[in-house]
Amino acid sequence: MSNDKLVRPGVWFQGGLKIKVATELAVRAEDAGVDSIWVAEGPVTRDAFITLSALAVATNRVELATGVVNPFTRHPAQLAATFTTLDELSQGRAICGIGIGARDGLIPLGADVSKPLTAAREMVSIIRTLLARDEVNLDGAVFQMDHVRLGLRPFRESMPIYLAATGPKMCALAGEAADGIYLMYGTQEYVQSSLNLAQAARTAPEALRAASPILMAVGEMTDDAVAGVKIGIGLMLTEPNGESMLEANGVDPALAQPIRDGLATGGVKALISAVDDSIIERLTIVGTHAQCVERLQEAVSWGINEPQILLTGDDPTPLLAVLGDLKSSI
């Protein structure tokens, strides 16, 4: 990962995917040439690390990442130990994908998410220090630790840390403190401005990697093709930052609330109906094979060097074919 111009396409799984299905898809993705597999996790969805452990056993080459886990349902010290264990199991293929997480799901658990930037900064510092086998003594605003060291020897001396970011301050923190930024796909203006903020804050000599989870459907703009991406993007926009995410991408922020209302009152079908076409146009990729390859090439030109496409239990062949053509075209 030393070449900052190297494009490494990947795939990602949402937390609702059954482990058996995820494993089968991971094997197909690796055979198709993807470079990484990312697994999302919510507070009460399938455990990302158990899924990644199954993928580690079933695969041989792809990097394995969380996309992402938070410091509230797992303490940063426990995260460091868990990532180290995954790295051992996968023989050096783990990526530490971390973020503040879905606050709508954390608040009902009693988590104090009132200081997201501080929590993220302390989390990155704790995990990086422990992975280096140094001692953590911290009297922080969110976390307090007294003479804590990692209780096992890491497989590698260092592990890449990616920080999920949406707002300007979190983007800057990713550039300052992490090895990579995990940035939601959007318009050229949004992506480039976010990456510029991250780069401006960077002092490390290593180039910042830019990974982006993308919802994509290969096919004509039919109801069936769009339904899957509407579910995925709709669920993302039910989070508290939904309005700001839409506004940053030139979409009317008022379009977020009908999505929340639809999900709450009518479930997934109502959510699909509530996702406006302008959201699909700006925050997802839907089109023919050639159009999807072209859109991904554009994203790479903006600075996203690790585009990741959502895989579901449906036939992944068209999506993997797009990633294959993207990689061969760069």
pLDDT digits (tens, 9 = 90+) for 95-144: 999 999 777 777 777 888 889 999 999 999 999 999 999 999 999 999 99
Is the same domain home to 105 and 207? Answer: yes
In a domain, 316, yes or no: yes
Together in a domain, 293 and 186:
yes
Neighbouring CB atoms inside 10 A of 51's CB total 24
Q: Indicate whether 320 belongs to any domain.
A: yes
On whether residue 192 sits in a domain, the answer given is yes
Q: Is residue 1 part of a domain?
A: no
Spatial distance between the Cα atoms of 89 and 56, rounded to a whole number of angstroms? 7
Whole-number pLDDT of residue 224 = 72
Check whether residue 81 and residue 180 sit in a common domain: yes
Q: Is residue 186 a contact partner of residue 251, using CB atoms and an 8 Å limit?
A: no
Q: What is the rounded distance in angstroms from the CA atom of residue 15 to the CA atom of residue 29?
A: 18
Q: Are residues 198 and 249 in the same domain?
A: no
Whole domain around residue 263: which residue ranges?
220-283
Q: Specify the DSSP class assigned to residue 208.
A: P
Residue 173's CB: how many other CB atoms inside 10 A?
Answer: 23
Nearby residues of 193 by Cβ (< 8 Å), 6 or more positions away? none
Q: Give residue 122's Cα distance to chain centre.
A: 20
Q: What is the pLDDT of residue 1?
A: 36
For residue 107, the model assigns a pLDDT of 76
The token pair that represents 5 in the structure block: 């111009």
Indicate whether 4 belongs to any domain: no
Beta-bridge partners for 10: 36, 308
Specify whether 307 is located in the same domain as 276: no
Residues 88 and 99 in one domain: yes
Residues in the chain, pLDDT under 70? 1-5, 221-223
- Give yes or no: residues 230 and 191 share one domain: no
Residue 221 has a pLDDT of: 65
Q: How many structural domains compose the chain?
A: 2
Whether residue 144 is found in the same domain as residue 179: yes
Rounded to the nearest 10 degrees, the angle between the axes of helix 19-31 and helix 48-58 is 40
CA neighbours closer than 13 Å in the CB half-sphere of residue 34: 29
β-sheet bridge partners, residue 306: 211
**What is the C-alpha separation between 88 and 90, in angstroms, rounded?**
6
User: Both 277 and 295 in a single domain?
Assistant: no
Helices within 90-131 (DSSP H only): 103-106, 116-131
Nearest-angstrom CA–CA distance, 271 and 136: 45
State residue 179's pLDDT score. Answer: 98
> Does the global pTM surpass 0.85?
yes
The 3-state DSSP class for residue 63 equals strand
HSE of 279, CA atoms in CB hemisphere, 13 A: 30
Cβ atoms 15, 46 nearer than 8 A = yes
- Residue whose token pair is 């990633």: 323
What are 262-300's pLDDT values in tens digits? Answer: 999 999 999 999 999 999 999 999 999 999 999 999 999
